[in-house]
Structures are given as structure tokens and as C-alpha cells.
Amino acid sequence: MAHLIDSKIFGSSWATPELKALFDDKALVRDWLKIMSVLAETQAEYQLIPNHAATGIKQGIDNLVLDEAFFGEVEQGFRDTNHSLLGLIQAVNKACPDDSGEWLCYGATVQDITDTRMVLILKHFHNCLSHHLANIDDVLIRHCLEHRDTLMCGRTHGQHGLPITFGYKVAGWLDEFHRHSQRLAEILPRLSYGQLAGGVGSLSSLGVHAIEIQRSFCTRLGLSVPSVSWTSSRDRIVEWVNLLALIASTCDRIANEVYNLQRPEIDELREGFVEGNVGSITMPQKRNPELSEHIGTLARIVRNSATQMNEIMVQDHERDGKAWKTEWIVFPEACLAAEKAINLSFQLLSHLSVNVDRMRSNIFSYNDFIFAEAVMLAMAPTLGKQSAHIQVYDLIVKAKKDNIKFKQALLADNTVSKLLGHKKIETIFEVDKLTSYCGVMVDQVLNKVKYEKNV
């Protein structure tokens, strides 16, 4: 095991097995062979190579057995030549009848094959992530509807701020995920370009019909045709990984919220519990937020991958191996970690337990100081906002010192009692009145998301 992702014990925690298989040797070689066969077929169509060569190449590739012996031969070819593709070309050449194998990858460079394959994989991941985000949207919509008016404490700097609703919090998550869905839709046309341009991207090796060959090659593979070679212009791939980092970071933000609100002293949210799950071998009472923690771990990997990919933007001349080959490590890891984080986020949100009673009781757990802004604003028309702030601040200091509730301190203060009156003070402490616009914003997000999903 060279990487934890390859562990038979732990590997499924770091990548979805079906998607991880897209990056194994068998899938890699299978796709490269398909691309090489399409290339030969396209070149024969425009008489760049003989028809019998394309037929022989296809026959040789179709008859290959991708077994241990074959991969051993390809590996040895790589060791002998220190070239990324030549070992495979040599092995395929032997399987091709007559001299057809001599025409393998005619006029094409390694990056034509590898970049084209990477884009095909990228499109697969794009489809997968779009599906995941649509599912997450549906779960978040359900939470918004169910908890539109579920009262809870809004916190800033980790401290009690003002009352909000849980639906309002979730609406913020939904709005953010919906923007990611839009970003995914917008990025696909920029990503879906094939690569066939030869040694330095000038098409000089592809004959008098180079443009037509390039167009036909890309079209056969379901890819767009680039206006110019992108061998050293990696912004498309870098943008993709940066988008993965954005999405994974939203997953991390939500997971971190669950992680914190699951603390026993807060106890407002909990990960879904499955009997048999164990949090600690020494502390049997533990129910650790394992999903939330692991989403955070995966998101860190994706963000680190984005940092490395941004370095790849700087390349020497028309091809730079030290930058380009970095993608071979970073791109798969970023895709797999991001997909796993998104997948786990769906699980987390689908089985999320919401403690409605605890959310409400926590609002009042800090001696009612959460109503301080409402009191200040009620006094401001008479005293002025700044003076009202000072008055309320001093009352809170006194209430904390005397260990009494904020309302009690207000009623005991002659100035405040005279200014506001007992009835007004009681009205200020009606928490539902402070969150009415939370529900309005939930409705706005739901209406927007539902409308745009149906457009």
C-alpha cells in the first residue's frame, strides 16, 4: 500500500471505489487504447495513414488481453525507455498485424493522449457531482420547509448573538450549494476540449488536413475542438480543481457547524446514529461526529490540491514536464477527495437529527442577553442609538455581576422602566417577533431554487 486510498481496510473512506477505479492502470490503459484507436481511424479517413494501418491498429487493440503479463510488459517498456507512453506503444505494436503498428500515434504526442483522457474523466466526474449536488439540494429543501420557523440561537464569534431559525441557517447552505450547481453548469463548456496538436502544438505533424483531423478526432470522442493547443495553458484544469475546493469547503463549513452544534453542552444537531458505531474504545459514552470530521479532512486535501494546481499555471515554453506531470498526482486525488466529501455530506444531511427543544432552550440559556439589541433599538428613538448602547451595556455588566436575568435588570432600572414601560419590555422578549424575516428569506431561497431548477 503506497497510499491510504489504496488500503483494503480504509480505502473506501477516502474515495468511492467505483470512481477510484477510473484511475487504476487498467482503466487508464483501456482509455488510452480507445483514444489511440480513434486517432488512427480519424487519420486514415484523411489519408494521413493507410486504411490498413487503422484497421490493423483497431484489430490489435481489440485483441489485447489486459492481464498481468501485458501490464508487466508495459511496465518494463517504461523502465527501459523512461517514456510515459512508449512502453504501451511497443506492446500494442506487437499485437498489430503486418506493419500497422508502425503507424500508432502518428504525429501525436503523449500529451495529446493523456490530456484527452483526462478531459473524458473530468466529464464523468462532472456528471457525478452534478447528480450529488441535486440530491443535496433536495435534502436541504426538506430541512428548510420543516424548520422554516424552528427557533435557535444565532452566534457570532462563537457567542450568542441574536435569535434566528434553523431553516434560515439551512437556507444559507442551500443558496450556496445552488450557486455551486450553477458554477458546475457554467464550467462544463470550458472544460470539454480534446487535445490533438503534436509536439509543440503547431499541428505540423498532422499533414495538410490537420485542422480537419483534429476536429474529427475530438468530435468522435464527444469533445469540443480547441482554437489553439492548450499543452502549456492549464487554466481549464486548474479552474476545475479550484471549483472542487469551493464545493468541498462548503461541505466542510456545514460539517463544522454540525461538529460544533453536536457538542453535549449545545446539543442542537446530531449526526445520525447507527447502533454498533463506536466512538472510543476507552470512553464508551462517546458518539463522535465522525462524518463531520472526515468531511473536514477531505476538504483540506482538496484545498491543498487547489494550491498545487495553481502552481501548475506557470509553465516553461510549449511543454513543461515538471508542471504538467504534477497533475498526474494532484488531479485524481482532488477529484476523488472532493467526490467523497460531497457524498458524505449528503449522508450527513440526510440523517441529520435536529433537537428542536434544545435549540429553543439555548436561546434563553444565557440570562436573556440575546435580547440586548432589541432593547437598545427600542430605546434608541428616545435616547439615540449610541446613548442607548451605553445604557444597555452598563445594564448587562450589572446583570452579569449580580447574576440576574437581563429582563430582571431592565425592570429593576427606573430609567429603563420609565422609558419603555413594563408592557413594552415584555413585548421585546417575545422571541418569535425577532425572526419573522428569517422565514421570509427561507421562502425567497426556496422560490429561487425551485424556479431555477424548473427553468
Mind telling me the catalytic residues?
A: 157, 280
Residues 6+ apart with CB under 8 A from 164: 151, 152, 153, 154, 435, 438
Cα–Cα distance measured from residue 213 to residue 352, given in angstroms and rounded to the nearest whole number = 53
Query: What are the distances in angstroms from CA 411 to CA 389, 393, 400, 407, 428?
Result: 17, 15, 15, 6, 12
Residue located via cell numbers 463531520: 292
Report CA torsion sign: 229, 335, 66, 215. Answer: negative
Question: How far from chain centre, in Å, is Cα 202?
Answer: 36
Rg of the Cα atoms in the chain: 30
The 10 Å Cβ neighbour count of residue 315 is 16
Residues 6+ apart with CB under 8 A from 194: 115, 116, 119, 214, 217, 218, 221, 223, 224, 225, 226
Residue 437 exposure: Cα atoms within 13 Å on the Cβ side: 2
SS3 269: strand
C-alpha cell at 341: 466529501
